[in-house]
Chain A
Amino acid sequence: MEDKLLIWKLNRGNKDALCRIYEKYRDNLVRIAAGLVNDVSIAEDIVQEVFLTLIRSSNKHEIRKNLKGYLTSCVINKIRNLNRKKFTQNPVSLDDIEPSTSASKTPDECVGCDEEYRNLYSAIAQLPHEQKETVILHIQGKMKFREIAQLQGTSIKTTLSRYNYGLNKLRSLLNSEVEKWDPQNI
């Protein structure tokens, strides 16, 4: 209900409501976007665009139930459009396709994060986009598989399968670190 109230207030131009929504969701959205595009600056730009769209939208009152879901969907769609645009502008043959354009970056060029996580993001970047999206949305975005399936236009089974494939691939990519893992240290 609080989100609905915030949207109602935002619709009336309330600055505090905007700040509250921003504080509540911005960083997590940036984290999700960064996980998907492997670049914090681009992620910040994408999230900023999503907030600008929210402000300019005349149909804010239609976002009734789930503001978080709405904002996350907007981020995902923007990233998809960005990827589509990249592909259209630089068409490549199937042989040239790499798992991700950002995967070729060195860990230092990757997401601006602590060193221990750079390898993780580098590995995530190597996942096929659908798997990457599912893993990030479920773990970082705390979205249910049903919601992700709805967003991706697939069945829950497909989403679950993408998630499992994604985690398995990450496990093999991060093999050495996984072996060092001791649950007591977490």
Chain B
Amino acid sequence: MGSAEYIKRLIENAKIKINPEVRKAALSELINELEQTKNADSVKLKPNIGRTIMNSKILKLAAATVIIIAILIGINQLSNGNAAFADVIEYFQKHSYTFDLEGLTMKPIHAMVWEMGRIRIDYPPAVEVGDYSSITDFNNGQTLLLFHQDKTAVMKKEPAYKSLGTEEIISLCTRPIAELWNVLDGAEEYLGEKVIEDQRVSGFRISKENQNFEYDITVWADFKSGLPVMVETITKSFDKSYPTITTTMENFNLDVKIDENLFSLDLPPEYTLAYQEDLENLEVDTKLSVEAGKIVQMLDLALEDRKEEAIEVLLEIDWLKPIEFGKEPYIFSISEKEYKALKAEDQKRVDEEVSADQTIIREISEDVLNLGQKAVDDQQYEKAEKYFNAGLQLGKLLEQNPNTMVIPRLVGLAIERNASKEMIQLYTIINDNEKVREAQNQLSKAEAEVDKIREEAKQINQ
């Protein structure tokens, strides 16, 4: 025992020679790293679904491919010689048409083209996004993305197809028809005839390239009418890391009436335009009430490591009086809709604040429930009820407004459930059946609300 104690003390007292210069230099390196991380963070946008999709190959390629088809229909007609190219172009400028596009997503994409200038693509449901649509105006490059489950919209003013280098193709659409003749005349290769699903078709191939991509496009068109039956595109990047993408367009419906409203770039009334608003401009029409001020004080105290005082303040709150917050803390003031509308950097700021506050609230609620349990052990039932009720009310405060941010609401519901369970036990001990039932109802209500939120989330993810 004695010698073991000696070794223990020897290890405890062991000093190593730490070079103060090395120590200082190491700290300096860390500070530099922190500064760099801070700068990077300030420009790094929070990853978000809309942005990811806007930048995805799907949209870029869908946009580019659809423009290409409009040109190809013309090429086909030109080569076949059955109809004047100008007539065909005119037809497409005056008519709407639809087609299915395969190869870019697991399921075919349904696309609708309206008057040559606008296209709407309805995408199959994607993970975490649900189903969504894009509406692009090729005249100015604007694209409106609509996320239907979430009722959120993203407006992208810069052309989504810009990085594909397809501007020259876009511009062709808006130039006089005569120019199209000059540019495309003789570019195609005749592939002969074949039969696709009992339909006699003629084939043409055209290869085009720009600084980034090489396109190999094959058009199969009806032998008599010259209208397209199937179009295959192979897009190869000169950058080898970019995969070769093969798409097939078919099921063309060239005689279709489409609701023009489907192509509107105006924000639908029930949708929120994301990533537009400044946090500073956010307006709140309520002011901090006295009791809400105590909640703010509680958060501040807890943040300063004065948890006991924070709990004392929490217990002083009169929950029957109005509890209204001003603009801050954001955890109580910002709605999910307002959050989505914020610019990405402001969303990040709100995330940080809310995350810190909800951590503190969760810990304080755990502490008050523990204090309540201790009071139950000591048979101080009134005191226990006060603690449990404080936890319950704190949970309710977070979840009572269905418009507030989802994650804090879930935290609030979890607190409410835990407090209700404690209350059921307490009231069972003191044989207060009415209050047991009340607490049970409270628990069921909170659990039902959690299920509802989960169900909504599941639907979005499907």
Residues of chain A contacted by B41 (CB below 8 angstroms): 13
Q: Are A4 and B359 in contact (CB under 8 A)?
A: yes
Q: Are A174 and B12 in contact (CB under 8 A)?
A: no
Residues of chain B contacted by A18 (CB below 8 angstroms): 30-31, 34
Query: A94-135 vs B: 1/0 string, CB under 8 Å?
Result: 000000000000000001111001001100100000000001
Instruction: Kindly identify which residue among A30, A135, A136 contacts B18, using a CB–CB cutoff of 8 Å.
Output: A30
Q: Are A34 and B16 in contact (CB under 8 A)?
A: yes
Interface residues on A, range: 35 or more
The minimal Cβ–Cβ distance linking B42 to chain A, given in whole angstroms, is 9
Query: B380-398 vs A: 1/0 string, CB under 8 Å?
Result: 0000000000000000000
Q: Are A13 and B18 in contact (CB under 8 A)?
A: no
The minimal Cβ–Cβ distance linking B1 to chain A, given in whole angstroms, is 11
- Does A80 lie at the interface of the complex (its beta carbon under 8 Å from any beta carbon of B)? no
Instruction: Kindly identify which residue among A22, A40, A55, A61 contacts B17, using a CB–CB cutoff of 8 Å.
Output: A40
Q: Name the residue of chain A whose CB is nearest to the CB of B16.
A: A113
- Does B453 lie at the interface of the complex (its beta carbon under 8 Å from any beta carbon of A)? no
Residues of chain B contacted by A30 (CB below 8 angstroms): 16, 18
- Does A140 lie at the interface of the complex (its beta carbon under 8 Å from any beta carbon of B)? yes
Q: Are B31 and A15 in contact (CB under 8 A)?
A: yes
Q: Name the residue of chain B whose CB is nearest to the CB of A13.
A: B38
Residues of chain A contacted by B33 (CB below 8 angstroms): 52, 55-56
The minimal Cβ–Cβ distance linking A109 to chain B, given in whole angstroms, is 14
Residues of chain B contacted by A113 (CB below 8 angstroms): 14-17
Q: Are B30 and A139 in contact (CB under 8 A)?
A: no
Q: Name the residue of chain A whose CB is nearest to the CB of B40.
A: A56
Contacts of B392-436 to chain A: CB distance below 8 A: none
Residues of chain A contacted by B303 (CB below 8 angstroms): 5, 8
Q: Are B37 and A55 in contact (CB under 8 A)?
A: yes
- Does B10 lie at the interface of the complex (its beta carbon under 8 Å from any beta carbon of A)? yes
The minimal Cβ–Cβ distance linking B459 to chain A, given in whole angstroms, is 28
Q: Name the residue of chain A whose CB is nearest to the CB of B14.
A: A117
Instruction: Kindly identify which residue among B2, B12, B305 contacts A139, using a CB–CB cutoff of 8 Å.
Output: B12
- Does A170 lie at the interface of the complex (its beta carbon under 8 Å from any beta carbon of B)? yes
Query: A12-54 vs B: 1/0 string, CB under 8 Å?
Result: 1101001100100011001100110000100110001001100
Partner-binding segment picked from A66-74, A85-93, A144-152, A178-186: A178-186
Q: What's the tally of chain B residues with a CB closer than 8 Å to chain A? A: 39
Query: B1-15 vs A: 1/0 string, CB under 8 Å?
Result: 011111111111011
Q: Are B38 and A178 in contact (CB under 8 A)?
A: no
Query: B355-371 vs A: 1/0 string, CB under 8 Å?
Result: 11001000100000000
- Does B106 lie at the interface of the complex (its beta carbon under 8 Å from any beta carbon of A)? no
* Chain A contact surface mostly: helix
- Does B352 lie at the interface of the complex (its beta carbon under 8 Å from any beta carbon of A)? yes
- Does A84 lie at the interface of the complex (its beta carbon under 8 Å from any beta carbon of B)? no
The minimal Cβ–Cβ distance linking B365 to chain A, given in whole angstroms, is 14
Q: Are A120 and B11 in contact (CB under 8 A)?
A: yes
Q: CA of A139 to CA of B41 in the docked complex: distance in angstroms? A: 39
Contact of A8 with B356 at beta-carbon distance under 8 Å, contacts A55-B34, A120-B11 already known: yes
Residues of chain B contacted by A34 (CB below 8 angstroms): 16
Residues of chain A contacted by B337 (CB below 8 angstroms): none
The minimal Cβ–Cβ distance linking A133 to chain B, given in whole angstroms, is 13
- Does B26 lie at the interface of the complex (its beta carbon under 8 Å from any beta carbon of A)? yes
**Pair count A-B, CB < 8 A:** 114
Q: Are A2 and B305 in contact (CB under 8 A)?
A: yes
Residues of chain A contacted by B356 (CB below 8 angstroms): 8, 61
- Does B177 lie at the interface of the complex (its beta carbon under 8 Å from any beta carbon of A)? no
Residues of chain A contacted by B302 (CB below 8 angstroms): 1
Q: CA of A27 to CA of B15 in the docked complex: distance in angstroms? A: 10
- Does B27 lie at the interface of the complex (its beta carbon under 8 Å from any beta carbon of A)? yes
Q: Are B30 and A52 in contact (CB under 8 A)?
A: yes
Residues of chain B contacted by A181 (CB below 8 angstroms): 2-3, 6
Q: Are B304 and A5 in contact (CB under 8 A)?
A: yes
Residues of chain B contacted by A51 (CB below 8 angstroms): 26, 30
Q: CA of A18 to CA of B35 in the docked complex: distance in angstroms? A: 11
Residues of chain A contacted by B22 (CB below 8 angstroms): 44
Q: Name the residue of chain B whose CB is nearest to the CB of A124.
A: B11
- Does B307 lie at the interface of the complex (its beta carbon under 8 Å from any beta carbon of A)? yes
Candidate in B11, B18, B23 with the most chain A CB atoms within 10 angstroms: B11
Q: Are B2 and A27 in contact (CB under 8 A)?
A: no
Contact of A22 with B16 at beta-carbon distance under 8 Å, contacts A1-B307, A5-B305 already known: no
- Does B29 lie at the interface of the complex (its beta carbon under 8 Å from any beta carbon of A)? yes
- Does A83 lie at the interface of the complex (its beta carbon under 8 Å from any beta carbon of B)? no
Query: B35-54 vs A: 1/0 string, CB under 8 Å?
Result: 10110010000000000000
Contact of A140 with B12 at beta-carbon distance under 8 Å, contacts A13-B37, A27-B18, A48-B29 already known: yes
Interface residues of B (CB under 8 A from A): 2-12, 14-18, 22-23, 26-27, 29-31, 33-35, 37-38, 41, 302-305, 307, 352, 355-356, 359, 363
With A15-B31, A52-B33, A64-B363 given, name 19 new contacts (CB 8 A). A11-B352, A13-B41, A18-B30, A22-B30, A31-B14, A35-B11, A40-B16, A40-B17, A44-B22, A61-B355, A112-B17, A120-B11, A139-B8, A139-B12, A170-B7, A178-B3, A183-B2, A186-B6, A186-B9
Interface residues of A (CB under 8 A from B): 1-2, 4-5, 8, 10-13, 15, 18-19, 22, 26-27, 30-31, 34-35, 40, 43-44, 48, 51-52, 55-56, 61, 64, 111-114, 117, 120-121, 124, 135-136, 139-140, 167-168, 170-171, 174, 178, 181, 183, 186
Nearest 6 interchain pairs by C-beta? A13-B38, A1-B305, A112-B17, A178-B3, A181-B6, A139-B11
A-B contact pairs, 17 of them (CB 8 A): A4-B359, A13-B35, A13-B38, A13-B41, A27-B18, A30-B16, A31-B16, A40-B17, A55-B37, A61-B359, A113-B17, A114-B15, A140-B14, A171-B3, A171-B4, A171-B7, A183-B6
